[in-house]
Structure 1
C-alpha cells in the first residue's frame, strides 16, 4: 500500500466487521469464491494492478480514510456509501450494524459501547457527491435503525415494512406483571403484545433456553411468531402470520 491508498468498499466493510450474505452457487450451496480486495486511491496516483485486487478512484470530496488496527481503511460512513450496488436489504443491514446503539439492558454484552458511526454521518456521506446506487442508498438510509442486532432481523423488519405493516420496536426488554424479566424481543408490537423472533442457526446452541423463553412469553399473554430461515424465504406467509396476530388484538 502506497500513500493515498486505502481499503474500501466490501473489503473495508469486512474490516469494520459488518455482516455480509454468503455467496451461493446455482444449487444454493455456499460458494467457495476467491475474495477480491478493494483498494481506493486518492487523486491521480496509479491504481493498483495486482491479481485479486480491484482498484477504485476516490475523491477527497466524497471519501474519508482513517487508520483501523494499523490499516488505512475508508471511514465507516464512506464505506457504507460505497455499497449502493448491493441489494437493498443488505445495504440496510450494514447500516444497522454500523449505527447500532449499545444500550443498557438485562444481560446485554458491551452495553455503553460507542456506535461505529451514526445515521447523520451516513446521510452526510450520501449527500457529499455522486454515488453508485444513489437512489438505493437514499432508500436504505430511511430504513437504517439503531437497535437491530442482526442482518436477519433487519430483513424481517424490511419485509414487514414493504408490506405496509406497522414498524415494530427492536430488541426491547419486556417484563411480567410483577416486574420479572421475560425476554429481550427481536421485534415487538408492544401495545398488541405480539413478538416476532428470528431463530437462526446460532439459536440451535440455546434451543432449550429459547423454548422456555417462548413459553414464558405466551404464558404472559404474548403472541409469539417464530421465524425460521424457511419462513423468511416465504414473505407472503410471514406477513400473513404477523398481520393475523395484530388483527387478533
Structure 2
C-alpha cells in the first residue's frame, strides 16, 4: 500500500485533500447545493479511482441555478433519485444515492466503493468497531438503482451482484474481483483461522476446504512486518498455502490468478 509523507495511504490522502477543498467551498455554498458524485463518495471516505481533474462535484435539485465557480463541476439532481444528509456540517448525497450516480465508473471501481459502503462490522477476534452499522446495504443500493433512470445502469447492475459485506480494503476487493472473474471460486473474506492452541490468524481471503489463503501485503515496517511474517509462518506450519499479494503482483493479474489456480489444483480443486 503506497503512502504519502503524512503516512496516509493514497485513498486516505485523496479523501483528506477533498475534505479540505470541500470545507473551503462550503463557506460560500448556497442552501440548495450539496456535494455529489465522486466528491460525495470521497467525503464518505470511499476509496475512489484517481480522477483526471480536481474539480468538486456540487449538485442542485430541480431548476435551481447550477453552481458556477472555479473548481466546481455542477450537476442537476432529481429528488426522486437522490437523498442528502450531513457529514461534519457538509451537505452530501447519501451513500446509496452516491453509488447509484457513479455509473460512468468501471465495474471494479463500483464494486470497491460498494464494498466500502456496505461493510458490516462483524464479531471476530480483535475485529475493530464491532456492531457499527454499515453506511448502506445492498438492498438500499438496489432500491437507489431502481428508483429511476441511471447512467451506466448495466455496469451498476453487474457491480451490485459482486458487492460483499466483509471486504476490509479496496485492494482486497480488487484481488477478489480478479480471481472470480477469471473463473476461480469465490474466497471467504477475512476468515478467522484457529490452530491447535486457539486463534491462529485472520486472513484476507481463504478457501478453507483447500487450506489456501491469500494475503494482500502493503508496505510494512518494523514490528508490524515482523508480526506478519510470524503469522504467515504459523499458517504455513499449520498446513496452509499462503499466497502473498503485493501491488506489483496485483498489476500482473494473469500471474496472480495462475498462482491461486495452481495452489487450488494442488489441493484437489477442479474447475
Equivalent of 1:172 in 188, 191, 195: 191
Quote how far apart the aligned CAs of 1:98 are. 0.5
Distance 2:265 2:65 in 1: 60
Deviations 1:85-143 (A, max 9, x none): 11221111110000000011111111111111000010111111111111111111001
Q: Secondary structure at the match of 1:143?
A: coil
Q: Tell me what 2:7 maps to.
A: none
Q: Tell me what 1:242 maps to.
A: 260
Q: Tell me what 2:40 maps to.
A: 12
Equivalent of 1:154 in 173, 185, 196: 173
Query: Does 2:65 align with 1:37?
Result: no
Deviations 1:195-218 (A, max 9, x none): 0100012x3452111100100000
TM-score normalised by length of structure 1: 0.92
Q: Tell me what 1:125 maps to.
A: 144
Distance 1:13 1:79 in 2: 6
Distance 2:177 2:138 in 1: 17
After TM superposition, the structure 1 stretch with the greater mean CA deviation from structure 2, 107-116 or 154-163, is 107-116
Quote how far apart the aligned CAs of 1:14 are. 1.0
- 4+ residue runs of structure 1 moved beyond 6 angstroms? none
Distance 2:150 2:55 in 1: 21
Q: Tell me what 1:138 maps to.
A: 157
Matches within 5 A, 1:88-107: 88-107=107-126
Unpaired segments of 5 or more residues in structure 2? Answer: 1-28
Query: Does 2:54 align with 1:69?
Result: no
Distance 1:100 1:46 in 2: 36
After TM superposition, the structure 1 stretch with the greater mean CA deviation from structure 2, 143-152 or 101-110, is 101-110
Deviations 1:131-185 (A, max 9, x none): 111111111100100000011000000000111100000001110134x211111
Unpaired segments of 5 or more residues in structure 1? Answer: 24-32
Equivalent of 1:81 in 100, 107, 120: 100
Distance 1:53 1:42 in 2: 16
TM-score normalised by length of structure 2: 0.85
Aligned length: 238
